[in-house]
Amino acid sequence: MSEKKPNILKRFWQWFRKPSRMAIGTIIILSAIGGILSWVGFNYGLEKTNTEQFCASCHTQDAYPEYLHSVHYQTRTGVGASCPDCHVPHEFGAKMKRKIVAAKEVFAHYTGKVDTLEKFNAHRLEMAEREWARMKANNSQECRNCHNFNDMDYSQQKTVAQQMHALAQEQNKTCIDCHKGIAHNLPHMEKVQQSFIPADMLKANEKPADNKDAK
């Protein structure tokens, strides 16, 4: 009669208890535990820095109070958009890139570059143009997560909105081309186009003047 083999755990322990194998096994187990803890910590950090409360902790005196009086916070239906909805991309790669830039912005705040309203306003144009350029480059993706030309019912919009949205589609414009300052105060615009509507869109929308001398 053959001897009964020890159970799998006992056999594993007999294999594992040799010094060389124990060292390798310990390294593998500790590496796996470290990897799991690192991934959990990484995602926890992402989640915590992706909240309105985190953004407000630095922007209490400047951007956050402006947002509280915007149409993205105070809405007729109670459906709004928070800071990360507009300023943090959903896609992983773009999100990581934005987080790196945001780390520089947090550093600027804590080193005193923009830690007061006066300093913030002095750099407002620079920061606004950087964010406008980012949104322009990704076709205002964060806006389009909620607002999509193809889903709009133009018949429910005011006449000017109907005209401008149709023209924007025709000219491949993006949301940020017209909607700068939708949630925050605009900077001094001396060096920026004065109208909230791009000049080429205005020109395209102008009706040709009647030629009174025409015969």
Burial category of 50 from C-beta neighbours within 10 Å (exposed 0-12, middle 13-18, buried 19 and up): middle
pLDDT band at 18 (very low <50, low <70, confident <90, very high): confident
pLDDT, position 51: 93
Least confident range of 27-36, 53-62, 106-115, 204-213: 204-213
Q: How many residues does the chain have?
A: 215
Percent helix, strand, coil in the chain, to 5, is 60, 0, 40
Distance CA 207, CA 190 (A): 28
- CATH code linked to domain 50-205: 1.10.3820
pLDDT of 209 over the 50 cut = no
Contacts of 115 (CB under 8 A, 6+ apart): 109
Q: For residue 25, give every residue at least 6 positions away whose Cβ sits within 8 Å of its Cβ, in sequence order, or none.
A: 16
pLDDT at 192: 65
What is the C-alpha to C-alpha distance for residues 72 and 183, in angstroms, rounded to an integer?
A: 7
pLDDT at position 215: 41
Tell me: the pLDDT tens digits for 37-90? 999 999 999 899 999 999 999 999 999 999 999 999 988 888 889 999 999 999
What is d(CA 180, CA 195) in angstroms, rounded to the nearest whole number?
10
Q: What is the pLDDT of residue 191?
A: 64
Supply the mean pLDDT for the chain. Answer: 85
Q: What percent of the chain has pLDDT over 70?
A: 85
Helix (H), strand (E), coil (C) string for 131-160: HHHHHHHCCCHHHHCCCCHHHCCHHHCCHH
How far from each other are the two terminal CA atoms of the chain, in whole angstroms? 120
23-38 average pLDDT score? 90
Question: Which helix (H) or strand (E) element contains residue 53?
Answer: helix 52-59
Instruction: Count other Cβ atoms within 10 Å, centred on residue 183.
Output: 19
pTM of the model: 0.73
Maximum pairwise Cα distance, the chain: 120
Tell me how crowded residue 68 is: count the other CB atoms within 10 A of its CB.
Answer: 12
